[in-house]
A = this chain, B = another copy of it.
Amino acid sequence: MTDQYVSRQDLDFLIEDWLETSALTLRPRFAEHSVETFRGALDLAAELAVAKFAPHNRTADTQEPCLRDDGTVRLIPEVQVALEAYFASGLHSAPFPEAVGGADLPMTIRTGVGLWFAATNCSTSGYANLTAAAANLLLAHGSTDVINRFARPLIAGRFFGTMCLSETQAGSSLADITTRATRQSDGTYRIHGDKMWISAGDHQMGENIVHLVLARTDRIESGIRGTSLFAVPKYLVGEDGAVGERNDVTLVGLNHKMGNRGTTNTVLSFGSGDHEPGGRPGAVGHLVGEENRGIFHMFHMMNEMRIAVGLSAVGLGSAGYLASLEYARTRRQGRRAPSSEPVPIIEHPDVRRMLLAQKSYVEGGLALVLYCGRLMDDAATEQTAARREDAAALLDLLTPVAKSFPAQWCLVANDLAIQVHGGYGYTRDYPVEQHYRDNRLNLIHEGTHGIQAADLLGRKVRARDGATLARLTELMRSTIGRARNSSSERKQLGAELLRRVERLETTTAAIWQDDDVADPLANATIYLEAFGHVVVAWLWLEQHIATQNRDTDFHSGKRLAARYFFEYELPRTDSQWDVLAQRNTLLQDVEPTWL
């Protein structure tokens, strides 16, 4: 039943056999945990996701949020029921520290938990992801007052969270935001401005919504550095935590999307004073962290959401893969010989190609986001400061990849899931067309694909003078070394990977050594995509090694998918490295009038 959405066997393999997550219980922070509590959390997630999230996934698509006459948002009631059950289960608060109401569940396990909700209903789980990420940001950068007033209710599931960065004229270009914040004598601020594309920006669930809003104070610096971050609640919250009257935050409208429809996507106005005809008081906001450091604080939430987007894409890929696998096993069409019976279509090599490709993207993508979960745990709990820093740096480097690889390739997986279904897959009677529409968002929100590319090539691989990238390739070489002392198949895959690791290194160095190039980032997206395939090939080799001495169907399938990725996918990167090595300037040679 539950294998309709997630392969629990794969999740257990990755968490237990590959990442050896049980070792985390030796660290003080996780000392209360055990393999049993980890499995229990995953069991609970599976049960809840299937019982409460999956059943309304299609309904939330066909009956998308709409505006009532009174200006409030109508959601189908199942969304609230599911989220209340989720909050009540303790899964939401579990990853937070005990001191603020959590249970110190490792992020590795939280990632596995999240997979269930992404796979069964990505738009309902979106509300919870934003709430958790908002709480984490406040814990990291908020004052005690802000933590008590906002973070604790977010962790308890009483309040919901949002991130308010974009404006109509400023999507990818956050330097252009114009929302203003004016400091008041009581230390609070008054916010004026409109925000666009705010997911979960309004609804009637919970007691309150906490918007984390990027705005400019009077003491502005120019551009992106002149922004500050504010917690702006929908309903004012007293020092004692009591929820009071409406703040000056107005829902202006809803955006209507191709997919992911269950998550409201809103235009919000702060300080337009519509609800109070007398004046324009401005929305009350509480400064989070320091003035003019807003964008840096916001990155805490953005980075978490980027990995959540990757996980969401993996979840959709997983649901589509398993749906098409089931279809391919039961649908009969075509035959081996004219006189024989029709065979299940999984017998046809082209169908196997489409299934294997999906498996390689989905399980490769899952390994990547779980690895990021582990890096979060290591960044928080490794024994030495140097190791914690190393883990944090590696996580920073891999974040654009953990967002973009699943967003791109698990969408391709959903495309293939439709194709396996043939005409049926194109109808709304089967789930795969919705996966495809839902997943398309993941290349856009939380930083477009191009923004991830610029982040990776422009910042991340150059961080610490390239030391983090060197650390990553060192880890890859270590895996290749282990592969070399193993089966001939693994040795072969290791050799294939090494060739691409070397290309990655030389190409990166060449791009940044040469001062002649007008725009080193011109081909950044090509770089991102080649880089992502090398990272995931590495993780497939890691998985292949983790199957050592195991010969069940499951482990044979793992090895086969690893081979598929190395033989059909990794070679794609060669022509990409060539474009990059040639320093192709074609994209800079364009005159706009030529197009």
Binding site for B on A (CB under 8 A): 166, 169-173, 175-176, 196-197, 222-223, 255-259, 325, 329, 332-335, 338-339, 342, 344, 346-353, 355-356, 359, 415, 418-419, 422-423, 425-429, 433, 436-437, 440-441, 443-445, 448-450, 453-454, 519, 521-526, 553-554, 556-557, 560, 563-564, 567-568, 571-572, 574-575, 578-579, 582, 584, 586-595
Chief secondary structure at chain A's binding surface: helix
Determine the chain B residues whose CB is within 8 A of the CB of A579 once the complex forms. 567-568, 571
Given A429-B256, A443-B419, A567-B586: A349 and B519 interface contact (C-beta under 8 Å): yes
Residue of B nearest to A225 (CB): B338
Give complex CA distance A436, B437 in Å: 10
Which of A325, A418, A593, A594 has the most chain B CB within a 10 Å cutoff? A594
Give complex CA distance A574, B427 in Å: 35
Q: How far is the CB of A134 from chain B (nearest CB, A)?
A: 20
Determine the chain B residues whose CB is within 8 A of the CB of A419 once the complex forms. 443-444, 448-450
Give complex CA distance A454, B426 in Å: 22
Q: Which of B333, B425, B571, B588 is the one whose CB lies under 8 Å from A349?
A: B588
**Contact status B440-A426, CB under 8 Å:** yes
Q: How far is the CB of A519 from chain B (nearest CB, A)?
A: 6
Residue of B nearest to A415 (CB): B440
Determine the chain B residues whose CB is within 8 A of the CB of A353 once the complex forms. 523, 525, 587
Determine the chain B residues whose CB is within 8 A of the CB of A440 once the complex forms. 415, 418, 426, 436
- A173-B333, A350-B525, A419-B448 known; 4 other A-B pairs, CB under 8 Å? A166-B423, A325-B595, A352-B590, A419-B450
Give complex CA distance A553, B571 in Å: 36
Q: How far is the CB of A527 from chain B (nearest CB, A)?
A: 11
Determine the chain B residues whose CB is within 8 A of the CB of A524 once the complex forms. 350
Q: How far is the CB of A340 from chain B (nearest CB, A)?
A: 11
Residue of B nearest to A453 (CB): B350
Give complex CA distance A426, B166 in Å: 15
Give complex CA distance A356, B525 in Å: 14
Some 18 contacts from A to B, beta carbons below 8 A apart, are: A169-B333, A173-B335, A175-B338, A222-B338, A325-B595, A329-B592, A346-B592, A349-B521, A349-B522, A349-B523, A350-B454, A352-B587, A356-B587, A419-B450, A437-B437, A526-B568, A560-B590, A568-B586
